Amino acid sequence: MGGIMKVLFCSSEVVPFAKTGGLADVAGTLPPELANLGVNIKVVLPYYKSIDSKKFEIKKIDKDTSVAVIQNNVEVYFIENKRYFDRANLYQYNGVDYRDNLERFTYYCQQTLRLAKKIKFKPDIIHCNDWQSALIPIYLKTIYKDDAFFKKTKTVFTIHNLGYQGLFSKEDFSVTGLDYDVFSMEGLEFYGRINLLKGGLLFSDKITTVSSTYADEIQTPQFGCGLEGVLLKRKNDLSGILNGINCHDWDPTQNKTLTKNYGPDAIAGKYHNKIDLQKICKLKVSKNIPLLGIITRLADQKGLDILAEVIDKIVQMPIQFVLLGTGDPKYHKLFENIKNKYRNTSIHLSFDAKLAYKIYAGSDIFLMPSYYEPCGLGQLISLNFGTIPLVRKIGGLADTVVDYNPFTKQGNGFVFDNYQAGALLEAIKRALCVYNDSETWNKLVAGAMKCNFSWEKSAKEYNKLYKKLLSSKK
């Protein structure tokens, strides 16, 4: 390959235009970082009703295509179709998936390939994400197999959450426009249904997911969601590349929401934020009481069942406990109860971005006892804020948090292994023990803030993967 590498990045959600989860953050941040490394990259997503065309200066280029420009001059193309995308939400309404999702995202995938031709952008790589864009690599190896325009195009597929696979009834297979041969055990068939993610995994040239440990875990029955066999088959083409965080948004030296800015060389400012948080939360104001924070979706995935088992024991210790989260009603009830029982707790059952900054900055310890975690952002953000993460050794948490060793003084957090309430409690006791030695603790805080989880680093790894793929003979 000579000249500048061309990449078409396909994602069904992109920050700041449309977001339901972490995929949108990746799709809005990674392409500009790759552009910074000299990659010619364009992004494609559906033109949902919720996207404000005036606010983002989106310009129409023809009847069903529009374009906007984001950082580093990256162009984002919007595929328009009123029937499919002019509705309240991205994928579902009132918790129920739209019945025509297969048709909607088939349209998105087919139009994306047509768009590349229309704008004469011959991609070296098409990078697809999750089930919504999984038909693209399948089309390239079937319908477009002999198409001269895409002759040299390779595909990369990234799994952001294996739990969402794009499952549809086999009766609808004709919607995809694919030959029925592809609906087989070696293709899109999955226990009698269509599985788009499975197809994406089988037909892409390379597969990535959002951490190395999660890449290993999903090859096992415990975390493979039924696709472990497929992933094992593709294991030589599967790797993990850690997500980054937007360091500007989460920079304690600059963040305007904080009472006082601070950094690794001036951590005293962190304690002003702790006092501020205690005031907001109507907790006793004291620099010395260890403050444990947690910000999470209230879902089983997040380890709340083991936390529930020992929560009374935790809050009966000389600590303060602040929780911010929404989700499963059973956890709302549990934490409502804790709030009424203990005065050293402050429970916020809502989504509140501003309070999240305050908790990240004002807490001493950040809890993430997840059952599974593909990458996890909370631990990365808290490290940036010098708040020491206490996590379970799983997925992206295992790749980013190193258990503190009191003898070697190495590590940036506290880690426990077994998914058991006792193990969580033991890790909290260990953390509190270190907390009592303020000199050691302050070093831990300053060290945490020096960890680097920038997108720049992740973008370099994707760039390396693209180059390797393009130089391979296969």
Q: Enumerate binding residues for ligand ADP (CB under 6 A).
A: 21-22, 295-297, 324-326, 351-353, 356, 376-378, 381
Q: How far is the CB of 336 from ligand ADP (least distance, A)?
A: 15
- Cβ at position 134, least distance to ligand ADP in Å: 20
CB of 322 to ligand ADP, least distance (A): 12
> Which residue, 199 or 396, has its beta carbon nearer to ligand ADP?
396
Nearer to ligand ADP, 308 or 356 (CB): 356
Nearer to ligand ADP, 370 or 463 (CB): 370
Cα–Cα nearest to 371, from 352, 350, 392: 392
* Shortest Å distance, C-beta 428 to ligand ADP: 19
Q: Which residue's CB is nearer to ligand ADP, number 297 or number 467?
A: 297
Nearer to ligand ADP, 185 or 353 (CB): 353
- Provide, rounded to whole angstroms, the least separation between the CB of residue 182 and ligand ADP: 32
Q: How far is the CB of 246 from ligand ADP (least distance, A)?
A: 10
> Quick one: how far is CA 29 from the chain centroid?
12
- Least distance in Å: CB of 21 to ligand ADP? 6
Q: Which is nearer to ligand ADP, 98 or 371 (CB)?
A: 371
What's the closest the beta carbon of residue 387 comes to ligand ADP, in angstroms?
12
- Decide whether 38 or 163 has the Cβ nearer to ligand ADP: 163
Considering beta carbons, is residue 277 or 381 the nearer one to ligand ADP?
Answer: 381
